[in-house]
């Protein structure tokens, strides 16, 4: 997908269309997740510190991500891809490899182009967003083609032209060549893919090591025989948080670790998995990162077991200087649990509950327990994240432009309306409530003969129907072009 998160926000908010939009964490230590093409003109890019982005584009709209909306759109796109082939390998919410040959639907370059063009049209019809498609004989080349196609384009690398196309490109174009490897190669006088191939395999092994050197030499020759894998085995499940201000209070650090353990277990259970190795990650004030792990006797998905293991790991970490990031993860995954761990956790919880239960001597009936008054705390101020959806009893659906000092500013508009008006309310206004995102494409009323486009399992079928008789030619089955450089069969990649 093209600038996926930012494009989804622009499609959802008419007042932001054609304007600079930046999505990411808005705190002092936030990072840019996606920047619209209008924001990229000012030098704002993904993974950039949000403070730097604000300096470069002070007038851009800065929004908190709405992952629920992004996942919904991603599922619609993946449905369209699965209609092309049974082999779809998602790389992220907005990118996937598709083995068109596995669908048995293409026989030449022309039919592959038709399949790519139809996919782009279907993506726009179902989601209202644009996607770029790269077609080639291997995953590496298809990935490069999709990057060249951005935004909203299609590029096909014809068989036999791979080496000539790759030659003048920077070595950073190849997968696995990051800033450090790129600098190392540059110091050795290697800056292009052609120079990489001319250096020879032995020289690359000497410079980068055996595994990396062999892999890069093969890629420089346009060789990539990796197959498209429809299902990847999950190796771990984890969650982590970066804090705007370093945490020094040891008690609060413990509470944060317990909260992260709860979130991790929810994600673990949602995937129908369990694990036997608990991992704690702590990044301290000086950016030093510590990782501690504990392996249980068997896999578990019990929140009490994970929480207690994470707490034990925390005991061995010095946090006196302050903590800027905490994370909890589970690895050694399985699709079953060890029942005796459940019993162990329940027994420990019962013992702790019995020990904590106050007796009549400790808290006489005529005296309130210490701290009872603290339980009657005032309700916390309602939070209104920038960019998130709200609904007002009088004005209808809108989104938060900003909040602070007890006020929240809302722009009332929908994906299907003209740019709306802005109004400001008290943060505790009872008429204002959080709302779910609206679909980016307005859904027609469902009838007995049809279902809404892009909904449920039929999303890909609805998206591929075109009422224009002249477009029937694009429904010809298509697959990847063959290439001598792709030993494992061709691959196509789609990045909405």
Catalytic residues: 95
- Give the span between the Cα atoms of 50 and 27, in whole angstroms: 8
Nearest Cα to 385, choosing from 19, 23, 51? Answer: 23
Q: Are 274 and 327 in contact (CB under 8 A)?
A: no
In three-state secondary structure terms, 148 is helix
Please state, in angstroms and rounded to a whole number, the distance separating the CA atoms of residues 273 and 36: 36
Query: Dihedral (C-alpha) 29, 30, 32, 33: value to the nearest 10 degrees?
Result: 130
For the chain, report the end-to-end CA distance as a whole number of angstroms.
Answer: 2
- Residue 331 phi/psi, 5-degree rounding, is -130, -175
Secondary structure of residue 162 in the 3-state scheme:
helix
CA pair distance 432, 363, nearest whole angstrom: 43
How many other C-beta atoms can be found within 10 angstroms of the C-beta atom of residue 146?
A: 24
Which residues have C-beta within 8 Å of that of residue 322, sequence separation ≥ 6?
A: 246, 247, 248, 284, 285
* Contact (CB, 8 A) for 406 and 426: yes
Q: What is the C-alpha to C-alpha distance for residues 496 and 492, in angstroms, rounded to an integer?
A: 13
Cα dihedral 17→22→24→26 (10° resolution): -110
Instruction: For residue 481, give both structure tokens.
Output: 């072009």
Record the tokens describing residue 406, joined without a space.
Answer: 């007890």
Cβ-based neighbours of 146, under 8 Å, separated by 6 or more: 95, 132, 133, 134, 155, 493, 494, 495
């Amino acid at each position: 997908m093209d600038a996926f998160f930012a494009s989804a926000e622009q499609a959802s908010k008419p007042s932001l269309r054609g304007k600079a939009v930046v999505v990411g964490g808005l705190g002092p230590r936030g990072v840019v997740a996606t920047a619209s093409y209008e924001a990229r003109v000012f030098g704002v890019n993904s993974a950039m510190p949000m403070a730097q982005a604000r300096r470069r584009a002070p007038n851009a709209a800065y929004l908190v991500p709405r992952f629920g909306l992004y996942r919904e759109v991603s599922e619609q796109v993946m449905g369209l891809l699965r209609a092309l082939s049974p082999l779809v390998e998602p790389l992220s919410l907005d990118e996937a490899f598709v083995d068109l040959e596995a669908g048995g639907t293409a026989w030449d370059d022309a039919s592959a182009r038709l399949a790519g063009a139809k996919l782009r049209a279907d993506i726009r019809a179902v989601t209202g967003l644009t996607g770029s498609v790269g077609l080639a004989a291997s995953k590496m080349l298809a990935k490069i083609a999709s990057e060249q196609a951005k935004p909203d384009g299609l590029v096909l690398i014809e068989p036999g032209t791979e080496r000539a196309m790759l030659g003048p490109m920077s070595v950073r174009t190849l997968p696995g060549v990051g800033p450090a490897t790129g600098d190392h190669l540059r110091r050795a006088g290697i800056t292009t893919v052609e120079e990489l191939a001319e250096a020879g395999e032995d020289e690359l092994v000497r410079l980068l090591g055996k595994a990396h050197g062999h892999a890069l030499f093969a890629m420089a020759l346009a060789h990539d025989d990796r197959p498209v894998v429809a299902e990847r085995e999950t190796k771990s499940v984890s969650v982590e948080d970066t804090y705007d201000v370093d945490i020094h209070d040891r008690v609060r650090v413990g509470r944060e670790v317990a909260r992260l353990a709860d979130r991790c277990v929810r994600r673990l259970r949602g995937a129908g998995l369990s694990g036997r190795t608990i991992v704690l990650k702590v990044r301290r004030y000086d950016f030093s990162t510590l990782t501690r792990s504990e392996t249980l006797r068997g896999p578990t998905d019990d929140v009490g077991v994970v929480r207690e293991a994470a707490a034990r790991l925390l005991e061995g970490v010095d946090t006196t200087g302050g903590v800027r990031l905490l994370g909890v993860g589970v690895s050694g995954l399985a699709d079953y649990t060890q029942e005796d761990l459940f019993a162990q956790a329940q027994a420990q919880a019962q013992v702790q509950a019995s020990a904590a239960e106050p007796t009549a001597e400790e808290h006489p009936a005529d005296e309130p327990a210490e701290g009872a008054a603290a339980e009657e705390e005032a309700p916390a101020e309602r939070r209104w994240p920038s960019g998130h959806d709200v609904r007002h009893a009088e004005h209808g659906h809108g989104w938060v432009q900003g909040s602070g000092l007890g006020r929240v500013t809302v722009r009332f508009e929908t994906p299907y309306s003209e740019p709306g008006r802005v109004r400001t309310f008290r943060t505790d206004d009872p008429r204002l409530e959080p709302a779910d995102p609206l679909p980016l494409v307005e859904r027609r009323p469902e009838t007995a003969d049809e279902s809404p486009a892009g909904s449920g399992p039929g999303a890909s079928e609805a998206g591929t129907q075109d009422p224009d008789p002249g477009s029937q030619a694009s429904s010809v089955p298509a697959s990847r072009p063959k290439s001598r450089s792709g030993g494992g069969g061709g691959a196509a990649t789609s990045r909405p």
